[in-house]
Amino acid sequence: MAVLKPLSEELSPQSRALAQALRDVFATLGEDLRPYAGRMNYDPSVVSRYLGGSRLPPEDWIEQLYKVALAAGGDEAASPTLKELYALRMAVLAASNSFSYRLLLAEAERAAVEDELARLKEVLPHVQHPAVGLAPDTVPGAQHPEDPPLSADDSPASHEPSGGTHDGGADSCSGEGDDDGPDGSGPVLAAPPPGAAAAPAEQAAAIGALAGGFARVHAGYLAQSISTLRLVGGQENEIAGLLADAGRRTPALVIRALDGLRLTGLSADARTLLAYVSLRPVPEAAEVAVALGVSGRSDDLAVLLEHVSCREPSGVAHCAALLRTAARTGDGAFGAPTGRDGPLADFGTWHLLRLAGDRPPADLPALVAALRETDMGARGIKSLLSRVGLDGDPPSAVTVLRGLLDLDCGSEADILLNLLARRTTPIFTVDAVLAMHSLDLQDTALVLARRTARHEASARRRRALAEALESAYLRPEAEAVRAVASRRR
CA pair distance 337, 360, nearest whole angstrom: 32
CA pair distance 142, 130, nearest whole angstrom: 10
pLDDT value at position 77? 54
Amino acid at 268: A
Instruction: Name the CA radius of gyration of the chain, rounded.
Output: 31
Instruction: Name the nearest CA neighbour of 155 among 121, 190, 123, 113.
Output: 190
- Residue 65 in contact with residue 22, Cβ under 8 Å? yes
- Residue 416 in contact with residue 404, Cβ under 8 Å? yes
Q: C-alpha distances in angstroms, 158 versus 131, 149, 153, 176, 193?
A: 17, 15, 6, 16, 16
- Burial track 41-68 (b if 16+ CB lie within 10 A, e otherwise): ebeeeebbebbbbeebbeeebbeebbeb
pTM for the full predicted model? 0.53
CA pair distance 379, 415, nearest whole angstrom: 10
pLDDT value at position 307? 93
Neighbours of 310 (CB within 10 A): 16
- Using left for φ > 0, alpha for ψ between -120 and 50, and beta otherwise, residue 340 falls in alpha
Amino acid at 153: D
Q: How far is CA 477 from the centre of its chain?
A: 45
- Residue 381 in contact with residue 419, Cβ under 8 Å? no
| Phi, psi of 61, rounded to the nearest 5 degrees | -70, -40
- Residue 212 in contact with residue 235, Cβ under 8 Å? yes
108: burial class by Cβ within 10 Å (0-12, 13-18, 19+)? exposed
Enumerate residue ranges in the chain where pLDDT < 70. Answer: 1-2, 74-78, 97-221, 329-347, 488-489
- Residue 399 in contact with residue 362, Cβ under 8 Å? yes
CA pair distance 381, 374, nearest whole angstrom: 11
CA pair distance 333, 87, nearest whole angstrom: 43
CA pair distance 344, 342, nearest whole angstrom: 6
pLDDT value at position 79? 72
Q: Three-state SS across the chain?
A: CCCCCCCCCCCCHHHHHHHHHHHHHHHCCCCCHHHHHHHCCCCHHHHHHHHHCCCCCCHHHHHHHHHHHHHHHHHHHHCCCHHHHHHHHHHHHHHHCCHHHHHHHHHHHHHHHHHHHHHHHHHCCCECCCCCCCCHHHCCCCCCCCCCCCCCCCCHHHHCCCCCECCCCCECCCCCCCCCCCCCCCCCECCCCCCCCCCHHHHHHHHHHHHHHHHHHCHHHHHHHHHHHHHHCCCHHHHHHHHHHHCCCCHHHHHHHHHHHHHCCCHHHHHHHHHHHHCCCHHHHHHHHHHHHHCCCHHHHHHHHHHHCCCCHHHHHHHHHHHHHHHHHCCCCCCCCCCCCCCCHHHHHHHHHHHHCCCCHHHHHHHHHHHHCCCCHHHHHHHHHHHHHHCCCHHHHHHHHHHHHHCCCHHHHHHHHHHHHCCCCHHHHHHHHHHHHHCCCHHHHHHHHHHHHHHCCCHHHHHHHHHHHHHCCCHHHHHHHHHHHHHHC
CA pair distance 190, 170, nearest whole angstrom: 10
CA pair distance 439, 445, nearest whole angstrom: 10
CA pair distance 382, 416, nearest whole angstrom: 8
| Phi, psi of 23, rounded to the nearest 5 degrees | -65, -40
pLDDT value at position 129? 39
